[in-house]
Chains A and B, each alone.
Chain A
Amino acid sequence: MRMCGVFFMNFSWRSFVICCPFLFAALLITLGTAPVSWIAYDRIPIPFVLPVIFFYAVYRPMLLNVICVFLLGIYADLLTQAPFGFCSFFLVLFFFVANLKSRLLMTFSYQRLWLVFAGLTFALDVISAAVFSLLTQMPFLYDGFVMRYVLVLMAYPLLMKMASRLDESVGLG
C-alpha cells in the first residue's frame, strides 16, 4: 500500500515535471488573450508563447516536442477564434525552423540569439498576416502589428529567464 502511494507520488511528480513546459506555454497563450487595453491599440492578442517555444526548440526539444507545439497551436486556435489549424501551422513552423538550426543557435551569444528571434518573429508575423488576409479576403491589418511585435521582443528576456528557471526548479536544467 505504502509502495503504491510512493509510486503514485513519484508518478504524479514526474508527470507534472514533464507537463510543466506545456502548461507554462498554455498559460502564456491564455495571457496573450487577456482583456487588457494597451496604450497604442486596444485589442491585440500577444503571442507571448513564442520566446518559450524558441527556448525549448533550441535548448530542450525533448521537453516541448512538435506534438506539444501542435497541441498548443490547436489551443491557440480555439482561444483566438483563428481559422482552425492557423496558429498550429505557424507555431509548428516556428518550432521547426528554430529546431532545425538548434546546434548552430546554441553557440550564439545571448544578444545574437535575441536578434535571430526578432528576425524569425518578424518573418512569422508578416507571413501569418499575409496568409490570413488571403484566407479571409480582408485587408492587411497593421494597426496592432508593430505594437504586438515590440511587446513580444520586450518580453523575450523575461520569458527566456522564466523558462530556464522553470527547467532548473523542476530538476531538468
Chain B
Amino acid sequence: MENKLFRLRRIKAQIKRFSPLLFLVISLGMIFLGISQNPFVVIARDKVSMTVAPVAQIVSLPLSWIQEALGTAERFISTYHENERLREENKLLIFWKTKALQLETEQQELYRLLNYQPPSQAKMVMARVLADNGGVFSQSLILNAGAAQGVRKGAVAMTDRGILGRVVAVGRNTSRVMLITDYLSRLPVSVGNKGFKCILAGDNSPELKLIALPENAEIQVGDVVMTAGTAGVYPAGIGVGTVARLEGRDIIVKPFETQLWPIFIRLVDFGLDDELLQDQPCVCAESSS
C-alpha cells in the first residue's frame, strides 16, 4: 500500500516537474496551427478587447493626466511661435477659402448644367479612443462608439489630416479600428497625377510601403497617394499620404496622419456594399482587400 502511494507521489511530482514543458508545447502548437485565424478566436479577441477597453481607460487615467499636464506646459512654452505660425497659416487659408468658394459656385453651376446626381451624404460618428491594442503585434484601436451609436463594420476611420484605418469589429458601445499601418492591412491606392494603381501595405511601423506596382510606373517623391476605390472597402479619392522616399525597389509612403494615437476619431460610413462589408470575418476581409 505504502509502495503504491510512494509511486503515485512520484508520478505526481514528475507530472508537476514537466507541466511547464507541456504548456510550452501546447503554446507552440497553437502558434504553428494558426489558431489566430479561427473565427472563434477572432470573435473572442474582439469581445475581450471591447470588454476590457473601459477598464484600460480607467487604469490609464493618472498617466493620461500627467501626459496632458506635460502637453499643456509644452503648449504654453511654444505659444509665441505657434501664434506666428498660425498667422501665416491664416493668410494662406483666407486665400484658399476664397478659391474654394469660387470653385464651389462653379461646381454647382456645372452640376446644374449636366443634371448631375451627387452621391448620398456619408454618415459620420465621432468617437474617442479607449484602448490601444497592440503596437508590436498589430495596429488597432478600440473606440467608444459601437452599433448603438450607428457605427457599422467597414466605416472609414479618419482624422482632420487623413485616413487612419477602418472598423473591423463592432460591439454594442465599442468598435475596433484596424489601422492602415497594421501588417495585415492591404489598401488599394492610386499614386500621383497619372493614378498608377497599386497596393499600400502596412508593416506595423509608422510608414507604409507600395507593392504590386505596374512595370511602367513612374513614382516620384512627393506624389500624393489616394484610395483607389477598388475592392469596395474604401471609397475612391481619400488622401492617404505622400511618397516620402525611394529605397531601392521599395517605395515608402508617409501617411498624412502621422500621429498614430489621436484622441478623437471620425468614423465615416460611405454606405458601401453592405454584403461585402458585413458578412466577412475581419481578418479575411483585410487579407482579401
Find out whether the CB atom of B183 lies under 8 angstroms from the CB atom of A138. Answer: yes
In the assembled complex, B27 has its CB within 8 A of some CB on chain A = yes
In the assembled complex, A81 has its CB within 8 A of some CB on chain B = yes
Q: Which residues of B contact A31 (CB under 8 A)?
A: 56, 59-60
Q: How far is the CA of A163 from the CA of B131 in the complex (A)?
A: 25
Number of contact residues on A: which range applies?
A: 35 or more
Complex interface bits, B57-69 against A, C-beta within 8 A gives 1, otherwise 0: 1011001100100
Closest to B58 in A: A34
In the assembled complex, B93 has its CB within 8 A of some CB on chain A = no
Q: Which residues of A contact B140 (CB under 8 A)?
A: 81
Closest to A28 in B: B59
Find out whether the CB atom of A34 lies under 8 angstroms from the CB atom of B136. Answer: no
Q: How far is the CA of A144 from the CA of B134 in the complex (A)?
A: 12
In the assembled complex, A135 has its CB within 8 A of some CB on chain B = yes
Find out whether the CB atom of A81 lies under 8 angstroms from the CB atom of B138. Answer: yes
Q: How far is the CA of A43 from the CA of B141 in the complex (A)?
A: 10
9 closest cross-chain pairs (CB), A and B: A85-B30, A34-B60, A89-B27, A81-B138, A96-B20, A82-B137, A85-B31, A84-B36, A78-B48
In the assembled complex, A21 has its CB within 8 A of some CB on chain B = no
Which of B's residues lie within 8 Å of A, judged by CB?
19-21, 23-24, 26-31, 34-36, 38, 41, 44-45, 48-49, 52, 55-57, 59-60, 63-64, 67, 129-141, 183, 203-205, 259-261
Partner of B24, one of A33, A42, A89, A144: A89
Find out whether the CB atom of B27 lies under 8 angstroms from the CB atom of A78. Answer: no
Give B127 Cβ to nearest chain A Cβ, in Å: 13
Q: How far is the CA of A45 from the CA of B24 in the complex (A)?
A: 22
Find out whether the CB atom of B135 lies under 8 angstroms from the CB atom of A132. Answer: no
Q: How far is the CA of A113 from the CA of B86 in the complex (A)?
A: 54
Q: Which residues of A contact B60 (CB under 8 A)?
A: 31, 34-36
Complex interface residues of chain A between 79 and 119 (CB less than 8 A to chain B) = 79-86, 88-89, 92-93, 95-96, 99
In the assembled complex, A66 has its CB within 8 A of some CB on chain B = yes
Q: How far is the CA of A89 from the CA of B21 in the complex (A)?
A: 10
Give B75 Cβ to nearest chain A Cβ, in Å: 15
Please tell me which stretch of A3-11, A12-20, A67-75 contacts chain B, meaning at least 4 of its Cβ atoms lie within 8 angstroms of it.
A67-75
Q: How far is the CA of A144 from the CA of B52 in the complex (A)?
A: 23
Give A96 Cβ to nearest chain B Cβ, in Å: 4
A-B interface contact total, Cβ < 8 Å:
143
Q: Which residues of B contact A80 (CB under 8 A)?
A: 133-138
Q: Which residues of B contact A81 (CB under 8 A)?
A: 45, 49, 133-134, 137-138, 140
Q: How far is the CA of A130 from the CA of B55 in the complex (A)?
A: 31
Find out whether the CB atom of B56 lies under 8 angstroms from the CB atom of A33. Answer: yes
Partner of B136, one of A44, A73, A89: A44
> In this complex, which of B20, B41, B139 has the most chain A Cβ atoms within 10 angstroms of its Cβ?
B20
Q: Which residues of A contact B29 (CB under 8 A)?
A: 85
Q: How far is the CA of A73 from the CA of B36 in the complex (A)?
A: 14
Given known pairs A88-B27, A93-B24, the reply for A34 and B19 (CB within 8 Å) is no
Q: How far is the CA of A132 from the CA of B136 in the complex (A)?
A: 9
Q: Which residues of B contact A89 (CB under 8 A)?
A: 24, 27-28, 31
Find out whether the CB atom of A35 lies under 8 angstroms from the CB atom of B28. Answer: no
Q: Which residues of B contact A33 (CB under 8 A)?
A: 52, 56, 131-134
In the assembled complex, A146 has its CB within 8 A of some CB on chain B = no
> In this complex, which of B30, B35, B136, B203 has the most chain A Cβ atoms within 10 angstroms of its Cβ?
B136
Q: Which residues of A contact B64 (CB under 8 A)?
A: 35-36
Q: Which residues of A contact B135 (CB under 8 A)?
A: 43-45, 80, 144
> In this complex, which of A27, A31, A35, A88 has the most chain B Cβ atoms within 10 angstroms of its Cβ?
A35
In the assembled complex, A139 has its CB within 8 A of some CB on chain B = yes
Find out whether the CB atom of A92 lies under 8 angstroms from the CB atom of B20. Answer: yes
Given known pairs A81-B134, A138-B183, the reply for A42 and B261 (CB within 8 Å) is yes
Q: How far is the CA of A31 from the CA of B261 in the complex (A)?
A: 16
